[in-house]
Structure 1
């Protein structure tokens, strides 16, 4: 007769060293990738009242710098309703570089006259594209300047308010 040999089953040991090595590499990589996926938020201000109130004199009314964005280009007013300049589209594109240069000169003029101005009111036409709004906000907020052989963002008008353009 044949003897049946039964092997005694032993519990197999679980070898997790390769899994631990994978986790040691994977966790830092995932943590480092989280830094690059930040959400950007653009802070906006409520528009200031450009109409003089009944109890204030005309000289005490806040002077508002307005930038009207319409289908033809940019219109800059200061104080509210008084035309400074118009920058028309060139080849179907908004003149962001010209706008930046003009606002840099305007900021310098304000500083020379002792006017502390850091707010601007963007008045947007109804059919203005989203990318145009964001690019305009980036242009009026700051510009690239060279300081001590380094390229930095110099401040123009960081306090931005939005509104509807007049018809």
Structure 2
């Protein structure tokens, strides 16, 4: 009895179906689907509205009466009129920025300049991301209670983000600090 050898093919008979082993695939799906569903609950995506500087030079007839900058320093928040004058400074309280005081001061400014909608938030390099977002929320709007309802008032919704200017220190201050 001699057998015939076929090259490149298995010696199965025609018409016989091969059985697929889907156990490993089913185990993967049983573990992967609940994991992905749980991760969807813990993942939250938030979009922050932000105005980035444009590369176009636009013709502006006149600059606004006030150009606000909220500068987040390591130990305080400075509220300035773009390089002209320091409006107010809010030191940290118990190692936390005083965002409530910043919002109240911006509310006073908004009553004087109701048409102004723009502000720049300028954090120093060592300010963490969470505090930057809190500052943006504080300058964007104000939430207060009126007639047992929470009311949200718009402050400065057009927020630009940039880098804080470096504090200039004089030679005399540096010499006094080293002694």
Structure 1 stretches (4+) deviating beyond 6 angstroms?
34-38
SS in 1 for 2:165: coil
Distance 1:48 1:147, change over 3 A: farther
TM value normalised by structure 2:
0.60
* CA offset digits 1:28-85 (Å, max 9, x no partner): xx9xxx9997632011102489xxx9x988xx23442111001121111124432111
Q: Distance in 2 between matches of 1:130 and 1:119?
A: 21
**Partner residue in 1 for 2:85:** 82
Match 1:61 to one of 60, 63, 76: 63
Structure 2: which 5+ runs fail to align? 1-36, 167-179
Q: 5 Å matches for 1:116-127?
A: 116-127=115-126
After TM superposition, the structure 1 stretch with the greater mean CA deviation from structure 2, 150-159 or 60-69, is: 60-69
Q: 5 Å matches for 1:14-93?
A: 39-47=45-53, 60-62=62-64, 63-93=66-96
Indicate if the aligned counterparts of 1:47 and 1:121 stay in contact, CA closer than 8 A.
no
1:108 CA drift (Å): 1.0
Distance 1:97 1:91, change over 3 A: same
SS in 1 for 2:143: strand
Q: Distance in 2 between matches of 1:145 and 1:48?
A: 34
Q: Distance in 2 between matches of 1:134 and 1:76?
A: 16
Distance 1:48 1:67, change over 3 A: farther
Distance 1:165 1:147, change over 3 A: same
Aligned-residue Cα RMSD (Å) equals 2.8
